[in-house]
């Protein structure tokens, strides 16, 4: 009798597990049809799109060919928008590639409609209906205003078409199935906050920059909300290691003692590197923080981000951004 009960229980567990796996395999991501909009390429949109793409949202950082031998890994000449294969030491679950997003029809997104581009940016759905790996920060771009996403698309449409085929991202099981729950359609028009409201606008900017993504440690593949903005997340590329800084307002281990002027200067001081030739990378200066792009942020925007960060919960967490490496580790 006991044996029959055990066999029955195991059978039920297998059925439930099989049903759950079947659900994951067959489930499609939540997706709305792309809009039929055709974005007008005005000078104002091109300027704003360039600002978002190359500075605020650092789209260029993932979707470009870069020189990791130099500080800040600047985009190489002729490499803007060509895509990139991410180094495996970053620890992603599988082979992750950022695609070519120039208007080349064969290897880029030249055949995509503007609506399909908008959907991919804010909702994480590819042209073929698949869920994009959330390294593409559509969870944060979800709240990008209509006008800002139109500006990004206008700028994308203005790029020179570059022919470079990138491999498709291939994620490990079960991540390849679990990410299907990540995309969420945008419902209704999205307005940007009034810039006169510095805190709300600063939160909007910090969200578009996905600051919390790098400055929060991960637990089982999710951001540890108890350590939000507390830094400590490790990033490896090649022989180098960087640890994200604590940017919470903790006065001893974060930026709580920083003045607005000090915060703004931290970014502005990298403008010479961005406009000139950055130094060779070393363990003492290696970083994935996009200083070269962020140095181009306007001072009002930096002040708004600073004001917002002053309102988040302080986290006590002492971080060494450039730890000395033990040989062999």
pLDDT confidence bin for 329, thresholds 50/70/90 = low
Average pLDDT for residues 97-113, to the nearest whole number? 98
Concatenated DSSP letters for 255-303?
STT--HHHHHHHHHTTHHHHHS-PPBP-TTT---S-HHHHTTS-HHHHH
- Whether the CB-CB separation of 322 and 264 falls below 8 Å is answered with no
pLDDT at 24: 58
For the segment 162-218, what is each residue's pLDDT rounded down to a tens digit?
999 999 999 999 999 999 999 999 999 999 999 999 999 999 999 999 999 999 999
- Whether the CB-CB separation of 192 and 84 falls below 8 Å is answered with no
Residue 10 has pLDDT above 90, yes or no: no
pLDDT at 328: 55
Residue 19 has pLDDT above 70, yes or no: no
For the segment 318-328, what is each residue's pLDDT rounded down to a tens digit?
999 999 875 55
pLDDT confidence bin for 22, thresholds 50/70/90 = low
Give the start-to-end residue ranges of the domains of the chain: 1-29, 31-192, 195-329
pLDDT confidence bin for 26, thresholds 50/70/90 = low
Average pLDDT for residues 273-302, to the nearest whole number? 95
- Whether the CB-CB separation of 46 and 154 falls below 8 Å is answered with yes
Q: Scanning the structure block, which residue is given the tokens 């009798």?
A: 1
Residue 12 has pLDDT above 80, yes or no: no
pLDDT at 11: 47
β-bridge partners, 219: 222
Residue 6 has pLDDT above 60, yes or no: no
pLDDT confidence bin for 27, thresholds 50/70/90 = confident
Residue 169: CB atoms within 10 Å: 22
Average pLDDT for residues 105-111, to the nearest whole number? 98
Residue 3 has pLDDT above 90, yes or no: no
pLDDT confidence bin for 221, thresholds 50/70/90 = confident
If you average pLDDT over every residue of the chain, what do you get?
Answer: 92
| Whole-number Cα distances in Å, 25 to 18, 49, 179, 183 | 10, 37, 11, 16
What percent of the chain is predicted at pLDDT more than 90? 86
For the segment 82-97, what is each residue's pLDDT rounded down to a tens digit?
999 999 989 899 999 9
Rounding to the nearest 10 degrees, give the CA dihedral for residues 102, 49, 141, 137: 40
* Distance separating alpha carbons of residues 276 and 274, to the nearest angstrom: 6
**Tokens, residue 122:** 């804010």
pLDDT at 325: 79
* Distance separating alpha carbons of residues 177 and 224, to the nearest angstrom: 22
């Amino acid at each position: 009798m006991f044996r029959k009960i055990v066999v029955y229980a195991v059978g039920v567990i297998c059925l439930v597990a099989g049903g759950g796996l079947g659900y994951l395999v067959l489930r499609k991501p939540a997706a709305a049809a792309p809009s039929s909009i055709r974005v007008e390429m005005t000078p104002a949109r091109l300027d704003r799109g360039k600002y978002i793409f190359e500075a605020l949202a650092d789209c260029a950082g993932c979707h470009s060919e870069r020189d990791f031998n130099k500080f800040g890994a600047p985009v190489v000449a002729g490499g803007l928008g060509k895509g990139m294969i991410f180094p495996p030491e970053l620890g992603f679950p599988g082979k992750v590639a950022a695609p070519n997003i120039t208007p080349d029809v064969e290897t880029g997104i030249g055949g995509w409609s503007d609506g399909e581009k908008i959907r991919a940016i804010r909702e994480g759905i590819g042209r073929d209906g698949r869920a994009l790996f959330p390294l593409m920060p559509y969870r944060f771009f979800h709240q990008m205003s209509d006008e800002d996403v139109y500006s990004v698309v206008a700028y994308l449409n203005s790029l020179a078409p570059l022919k470079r085929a990138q491999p498709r991202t291939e994620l490990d099981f079960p991540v390849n199935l679990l990410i299907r729950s990540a995309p969420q359609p945008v419902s209704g028009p999205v307005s940007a906050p009034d810039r006169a409201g510095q805190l709300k606008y600063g939160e909007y900017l910090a969200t578009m920059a996905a600051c919390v993504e790098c400055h929060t440690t991960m637990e089982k593949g999710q951001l540890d909300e108890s350590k939000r903005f507390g830094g400590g997340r490790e990033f490896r590329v090649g022989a180098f290691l960087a640890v994200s800084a604590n940017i919470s307002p903790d006065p001893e281990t974060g930026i709580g003692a920083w003045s607005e002027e000090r915060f703004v200067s931290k970014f502005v001081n990298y403008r010479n590197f961005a406009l000139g030739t950055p130094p060779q990378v070393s363990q003492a200066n290696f970083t994935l923080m996009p200083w070269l792009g962020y140095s181009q942020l306007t001072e009002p925007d930096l002040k708004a981000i600073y004001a917002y960060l002053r309102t988040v919960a302080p986290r006590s967490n002492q971080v060494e951004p450039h730890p000395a490496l033990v040989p062999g580790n």
